[in-house]
């Protein structure tokens, strides 16, 4: 099993641009999570899905952030427009039971 | 979910046991204790979890006190590759979408 796959691994963009982060969960997992990690705030849960349906998006910082899960094998996290304070590492994780499996993360830098 | 308290950092000599403490004095009866670790530049990795009884797997042992207000993660023979941030998390196993709330964790430095 390839594990959770995230792309791109690194993204550098300019303020105001749209950024799309992608995640492929482990096959058969029915939960998908998006986290953000910064030095100041640590690891924060942004949103999670169950069976492709968003369950809790209370961690999404503002309307510039949106997430979708069109099918069981793909999810996106979009930031539009991006701002320098969005610079962070974004992790996707999936689970089917008590253990969450994390992807390698996408390091986003907004200039 | 109950709040946890961990020391911000610890050192351990290579080959020795690393004992990482965690306080969770407000833990509820249906909350489990989970441990994850994050090696630099990687995503967090599950280590072990438990409810009441001590648990052991190929990575570590988890010792939970009888009153469940604290626990200790034990890496029996720490190696340099165990250098990481270790997170203690308490949460209800079912419901709430298996959500994890990460605190500051303990930065373990294994030294030669």
Instruction: Answer whether A28's CB lies under 8 Å from A73's CB.
Output: no
Minimum CA–CA partner of B38 in chain A:
A102
User: With 90 as the cut, is the pLDDT of residue B16 above it?
Assistant: yes
Mean residue pLDDT of chain B comes to 92
Say which range, A1-15, A66-80, A94-108, B97-111, has the weakest mean pLDDT.
Answer: B97-111
A contacts of B98 (beta carbons < 8 Å) = 31, 95, 97-98, 100
User: With 70 as the cut, is the pLDDT of residue B68 above it?
Assistant: yes
Instruction: Answer whether A108's CB lies under 8 Å from A92's CB.
Output: no
Distances (CA, A) of B68 to A61, A75, A92, A98, B104: 34, 38, 31, 19, 21
∠ at Cα B37 (B34, B39), nearest 5°? 170
Mean residue pLDDT of chain A comes to 94
Mean pLDDT for A71-97 is 95
HSE on the CB side for A38, CA within 13 Å?
Answer: 12
Q: Beta strand pairing status for B70-75 and B55-56?
A: unpaired
Count of CB atoms within 10 A of residue B71's CB?
A: 23
What confidence tier does B2 reach under pLDDT thresholds 50, 70, 90?
low
What confidence tier does A107 reach under pLDDT thresholds 50, 70, 90?
very high
CA–CA distance, B83 with B37 (Å, rounded to integer): 9
CA–CA distance, B90 with A39 (Å, rounded to integer): 22
Mean pLDDT for B31-60 is 93
CA–CA distance, B4 with B91 (Å, rounded to integer): 10
User: With 90 as the cut, is the pLDDT of residue B7 above it?
Assistant: yes
A 15-74: CB under 8 A from B: 31, 33, 42-45, 48, 50, 55-56
pLDDT at residue A37, rounded to an integer: 95
- Between chains, do B100 and A100 touch, taking CB under 8 Å as contact? yes
A91 compared with B100, residue with greater pLDDT:
A91
User: With 60 as the cut, is the pLDDT of residue A92 above it?
Assistant: yes
């Amino acid at each position: 099993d390839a594990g959770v796959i995230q792309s791109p691994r690194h993204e550098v963009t300019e303020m105001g641009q749209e950024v799309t982060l992608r995640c492929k969960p482990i096959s058969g997992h029915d939960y998908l999570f998006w986290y953000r990690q910064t030095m100041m705030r640590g690891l924060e849960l942004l949103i999670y899905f169950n069976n492709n349906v968003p369950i809790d998006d209370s961690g999404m910082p503002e309307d510039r952030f949106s997430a979708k899960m069109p099918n069981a094998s793909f999810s996106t996290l979009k930031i539009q427009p991006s701002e320098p304070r969005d610079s962070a590492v974004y992790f996707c994780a999936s689970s089917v039971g008590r253990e969450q499996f994390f992807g390698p993360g996408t390091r986003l830098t907004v200039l | 979910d109950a709040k946890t308290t961990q020391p911000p950092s610890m050192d351990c000599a290579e080959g020795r046991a690393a004992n990482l403490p965690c306080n969770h004095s407000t833990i509820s009866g249906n909350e489990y204790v989970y441990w994850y670790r994050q090696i630099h530049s990687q995503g967090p990795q599950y280590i072990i979890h438990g409810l009441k009884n001590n648990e052991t797997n190929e990575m570590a042992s988890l010792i939970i006190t009888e009153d469940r207000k604290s626990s200790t993660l034990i890496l029996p023979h720490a190696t340099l590759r165990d250098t990481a941030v270790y997170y203690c998390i308490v949460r209800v196993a079912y419901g709430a979408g298996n959500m994890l709330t990460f605190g500051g964790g303990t930065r373990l430095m294994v030294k030669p």
